[in-house]
Amino acid sequence: MPRRLLLLCMPALFFPLQTLAATSTPDVPSATSTYARRDGEFSAALVMDARTKKVLYAYQADLAWPAASLTKLMGALVFLDYRPSWNTIVSIKKQDEVGGGRLRVNSGATMSVRDMLYSSITASANNAATALARITLGRTAFVRAMNRKAAKLGLAETHFVDPSGISPKNVTTARDMAKLALAAFSVDAIRRPATTASYRFKIRNTGEVKTLKSTNDLLIAEAYDDVFVTGGKTGFLYESAYNLAVRLKPLDPAKKLPNLLVVVFGSQTRESSFESARSLATWAWNGYTSSQ
């Protein structure tokens, strides 16, 4: 069962929701408190109403930060620009091994294009993401295409140097990442692997069955069954700590609360990144509820 979470405030660092109360509309919650960020909880964060794109909460949202594996969302968007044939058989090669989390297969392992994309997004496999770049344009040209796409999306503070996120020189901001994640999760071919808890497929040349597990605990842990994930991607580097971009909706549709896009950078543990996302979302939805 999926799970999800998010929070509210206005742009810039810490605009309290009471700033909005005087002009409250159905799209803008009114509340009497700001999000109570704990010391060291995260280095940057942003919460956005996914429909209106209104920023509800921002903390150091323009701070340059290593994107880590959130980079793979841009790689997936660029890959899909080239209209891949999902059943084409492709391979992982030695040159795709860049370190970090990987699909554990031998060089030469073959699989469908669909299986490779799921490996990149669901399991966050660096060798799969690098292979997607290689089979599309070649790594160097693919990274250039990623940066062109970033410019097209208006991500002025974002720059990529590799397609997997293994380099800390892939940099972005929470504000830019919210825009990127919103674009990526709006594409069905990305949203499906980004909301898949477990995915099985066969290595074509060996017959080995691989089972991918999502890196996003909001999808799989019972502790988060109060939120519903409609798109999510995790990331980790020692230089970035734990990053998360997730789109969430409340479980009860009768409450008519908005989908939220939440970005959290620099959490010190995996668990705390998920807890912060849930806390932010809950706080934001409570703000909407109090305005009704």
Question: Mean pLDDT, to the nearest integer, of 57-65?
Answer: 97
Please provide the DSSP assignment of 246-271 as one string. EEEEES-GGG-PPPEEEEEEEESSHH
Cα–Cα distance, 127 to 120 (Å, whole number): 8
Percentage, residues of the chain above pLDDT 90: 80
The model's confidence at residue 13, banded by pLDDT at 50, 70 and 90, is very low
Cα–Cα distance, 173 to 177 (Å, whole number): 6
Stronger pLDDT, 19 or 4, i.e. the higher one: 4
Among 71-80, 103-112, 283-292, the least confident range: 283-292
All residues at 6 or more sequence positions from 275 whose CB lies less than 8 Å from its CB, including other chains: none
Q: Taking the domain 18-291, which CATH number applies?
A: 3.40.710.10
pLDDT digits over 225-264, tens only? 888 999 999 999 999 999 999 999 988 777 789 999 999 9
Q: Is the pTM of this model over 0.85?
A: yes
All residues at 6 or more sequence positions from 255 whose CB lies less than 8 Å from its CB, including other chains: 285, 289
To the nearest whole number, what is the mean pLDDT of the chain? 88
